[in-house]
Amino acid sequence: MSPWPPPRGPFKSTLKIGGRKMRKYQRRNFVKGMLFILPWLIGFAVFTAYPIIASLYFSFTEYHVTTKPQWVGLENYKKLFNDVLFLKSLTNTLYYVAGLVPIGLVVGLVLALLLVQPLKEIVFYRGIIYFPSIVPAYAFATIGIWFFHPYLGFINHILGFFGIDGPMWLSDENWAKFTIILLSQWGAGGTALIYMAAIKDIPRELYEAAILDGATRWQMFKKITFPLISPATLYYLVIATLGALQIFDLPQIMTGGGPANSTLSYVMYLYRHAFTYVNMGYASAMAWILFIISMFLTFLIFKTSKRWVFYYGARR
């Protein structure tokens, strides 16, 4: 089992484009292949390659769309690192990543371990737990505000019932980010399903052998389940980290960045500069810094993965 990069097809390319001259049928297949992928290739050029280069160029300019970009060199980058709000949005975002990624992993994994139990009504639980993860964030945000409302919300009613004076949640700058992280856990069903599939793929014999050796449940989880689902964990870490770095919908709708900019995320601040202040050069510089951060984190995850990702049946 190999999650990433996905395995090559049955065909291994032994041909080099630049090197030997292509034979006639190869040339014909080349043309055919290119024609089939042409729509994507055009889309790639127009909506991916060009924008990456263009935003790099814009990041060195002052650009307000209506007038031509004016070259300013490194000015935008210099300004950014003296911009208090930029630094605030960056640290907020790192806080989101540090909270969302590990908490989401634990919640998803615990849900998966519950959902693989051989109960006849399991489909019912699975459906309900998965449902919130396809509810759009813009709808869940409105429900979330009301659910966590400091005075009238459900959560504080329940806490009050137990004699606990609930926090102000989204209205308290020390709690707001955490509230958003907590609310995001209603979307953990997707992760749970991926883990569920990985757990079901583990050969039964391994557990049977472990039981014969007198292993406890916790030992089996630590020594069998967790290592064998590590490819799913790798997939989760990459997707969740990239997702958390770009968190936007929930804080944008629920708090608009407040209170006291405590929930302002990186992409929210980028969006503000690009589309509220129409300050495209400055926003492009932010986009490129985000690009570099996300490449760095992805690289870091893949780099360490060689040490902890285990492919059952594959040679190490």
Partner 1 sequence: MLGKRAKEKIRLNIMRLLLIIVTFVYILPFFWMVSTSLKADQDLFLIPPKWFPIPPEWSNYKNAIEYFPFFTYFKNSLIITFGSVLGTLLVSPLVAYGFSKIYWPGRDFFFYLMLSTMMLPFAVTMIPTFIIFKKLGLVNTLWPLIIPSFFGVPMHIFLIRQFFNTIPDDFIDAARVDGASELQIYWKIMLPLSKPILLLVGLFQFIGSWNNYIGPLIYLTDEEKYPLALGLPLFLDRYGTHWNWMMAASTLAITPIVIFFFFAQSYLIEGIKLTGLKE
The interface with partner 1 within residues 44-63 (CB under 8 A) comprises: 44, 46-48, 50-52, 54-55, 58
Mark out the alpha helices in 116-164 (DSSP H runs). Answer: 122-130, 137-147, 154-161
Mark out the alpha helices in 185-311 (DSSP H runs). Answer: 189-200, 204-212, 217-220, 226-228, 230-245, 249-254, 266-271, 280-308
Residue 223 to residue 304: CA distance in whole angstroms: 19
Q: Which two tokens stand for residue 190?
A: 């997707």
Q: Which stretch binds partner 1 (CB under 8 A): 43-51, 76-84, 87-95, 220-228?
A: 43-51
Q: DSSP for 36-94?
A: HHHHHHHHHIIIIIHHHHHHHHHTTEE--SSS--EE-TTHHHHHHTT-HHHHHHHHHHH
Among 87, 128, 164, 300, binds partner 1 (CB under 8 A): 128
Q: Which stretch binds partner 1 (CB under 8 A): 85-93, 115-123, 166-174, 220-228?
A: 115-123
Judged by CB under 8 A, does residue 132 bind partner 1? yes
Among 21, 65, 230, 306, binds partner 1 (CB under 8 A): 65
| b/e code 180-199 from CB counts within 10 Å (16+ = b) | bbbbbbbbbbbbbbbbbebb
SS (H, E, C) 201-232: CCCHHHHHHHHHCCCCHHHHHHHHHHHHCHHH
Judged by CB under 8 A, does residue 218 bind partner 1? no
Closer CB to partner 1, 34 or 98, in the complex:
34
Closer CB to partner 1, 224 or 237, in the complex:
237
Closer CB to partner 1, 84 or 152, in the complex:
152
Q: Let me know if 316 is exposed, middle or buried by CB neighbors in 10 A (0-12, 13-18, 19+).
A: exposed
Residue 221 to residue 230: CA distance in whole angstroms: 12
Closer CB to partner 1, 118 or 214, in the complex:
118
CB of 62 to partner 1, least distance (A): 14
Closer CB to partner 1, 252 or 261, in the complex:
252
Judged by CB under 8 A, does residue 274 bind partner 1? yes
CB of 94 to partner 1, least distance (A): 15
Judged by CB under 8 A, does residue 304 bind partner 1? no
12 alpha carbon, distance to own chain's centre: 32
Residue 192 to residue 185: CA distance in whole angstroms: 11
Closer CB to partner 1, 18 or 73, in the complex:
18
Judged by CB under 8 A, does residue 97 bind partner 1? no
Closer CB to partner 1, 64 or 88, in the complex:
64
Closer CB to partner 1, 109 or 274, in the complex:
274
Among 112, 245, 247, 264, binds partner 1 (CB under 8 A): 245
Judged by CB under 8 A, does residue 36 bind partner 1? yes
Site for partner 1 in 135-194 (CB under 8 A): 135-147, 149, 152, 154, 157, 160-161, 186, 189-190, 193-194
